[in-house]
Amino acid sequence: MCITIQHRDYSNNFLTKLIVLVTIDFRNGGDFMSDVDIAKRKQAEKLAYAINSIEGVPVPDEVKSISARWVQGEISADEMKQELIKMFMVQQ
């Protein structure tokens, strides 16, 4: 199986920068998210968006929706990663 990225210049760059969000999971194994945890995730999200803005790569609304769910603790970092992979990857 070969996996390629759609719109390579766009999605590869964004996924690379979004790794900041995927690698920072403040949930600590529980379902409860403190205000501090949410603030840390929001800060990581803003950093990822800022990096993309500096490089001139817009963040799609669909991605913003997914990352907002992660910030609020509705989905885990792994779930967010899987949704983003599904969004930007195509199997050939």
The reported pTM is: 0.64
**pLDDT digits 0-9 by tens, 59-74:** 999 999 999 999 999 9
DSSP secondary structure string for all residues of 41-92: HHHHHHHHHHHHHHTT-PPPHHHHHHHHHHHTTSS-HHHHHHHHHHHHEEE-
Torsion of CA 34, 37, 39, 40, to 10 degrees: 170
Residue 33 pLDDT > 70? yes
**pLDDT digits 0-9 by tens, 5-25:** 344 444 555 655 555 455 444
Domain boundaries along the sequence of the chain: 17-91
pLDDT, position 88 = 82
The alpha carbon of residue 5 and the mean position of all alpha carbons in its chain are separated, in whole angstroms, by 16
Mean pLDDT confidence for 52-62: 92
Residue type, 86: K
Half-sphere exposure of 18 (CA within 13 A, CB side): 25
